[in-house]
Amino acid sequence: MRTLTAVAAAAALALTLPLAATSAKKPVKQPGTGNLSIKPSVNPVLFGRFVTFTGRLTGGDKANKVIELQHDPYPYGTGYDGLTTTRTNSQGEYTVSANPDRNTNYRVVADTSPPARSDNVQVGVRMRINRTVSDRTPARGQLVTFSGKVRPNHDGRRVLIQRRRANGTWRTVARPILHSSATYAIGPSVYSRSLRINRNGVFRVKITSHADHVGNKTRAVRLRVH
């Protein structure tokens, strides 16, 4: 009876695993055929910029072959779609570019017989974030406003205004919420928060990574109280 119970429990567990994997929508990790490589020029790439992929097709049939760049963007799991094509040179080498707007899985497929396929490569897309301060030399106790934009739009999420400690680590002092701006019909999210400054300090603004994009931070700014 114990043996039958154990078998039944194992079978039930096996049935639940595919459902959990499906609901997670994990990236498709299909290995390549081993004769076609892919390498991104930068990873992660800053939002709005292009990433260039290079690689090589090996074997006897490698010259002037059509290479299709395929992508599976976040939230993944819907399969790879063709994005653009190029051709190999006489050495089987190729170059192709893409402009992802979110974290994306890429691969290339060569029009050979049988078709050659590269491994998957995931390219992260780093958000853009900037920061301005209303006064870098405030009087003691004055309110200083930190404001800026995040691209692409991430309304409802928070940025972290941080102050540098004496040991070099950063302490979060405010968490303003990102929201849309009346200035932009379609565009970046914006933030603003006023802080009372009583002493000199170094500050930055940071947005953490999410499943769809890689986080980023602004340059540090020093406020000097007079």
pLDDT, tens digit (0-9, with 9 covering 90-100), for 204-215 = 999 999 999 999
| Portions of the chain given CATH number 2.60.40.10 | 128-223
CATH tag for 27-124 (out of 2.60.40.730, 3.90.550.10, 2.60.40.10, 3.40.50.980): 2.60.40.730
Confidence of residue 31 (pLDDT cuts 50, 70, 90): confident
What's the whole-number mean pLDDT along residues 115-120? 97
Examine the pLDDT at 11 and tell me if it is beyond 60.
Answer: no
Please name the CATH architecture into which domain 128-223 falls.
Answer: Sandwich (2.60)
pLDDT given at position 54: 98
| Portions of the chain given CATH number 2.60.40.730 | 27-124
pLDDT given at position 120: 96
- Give just the sign of the alpha carbon dihedral 105, 110, 111, 115: negative
- Percent of the chain at pLDDT > 70 equals 85
98-113 pLDDT, tens digit each: 999 999 999 999 999 9
Global pTM? 0.83
3 state SS for the chain? CHHHHHHHHHHHHHHHHHHHHHHHCCCCCCCCCCCECCEECCCCEECCCCEEEEEEECCCCCCCCEEEEEEEECCCCCCCEEEEEEECCCCCEEEEEECCCCCEEEEEEECCCCCEECCCEEECEECEECCEECCCCCCCCEEEEEEEEEECCCCCCECEEEEECCCCCEEEEECCECECCCCCCCCCEEEEEEEEECCCEEEEEEECCCCCCECEECCCEEECCC
pLDDT given at position 3: 35
Q: What is the mean pLDDT of the chain?
A: 88
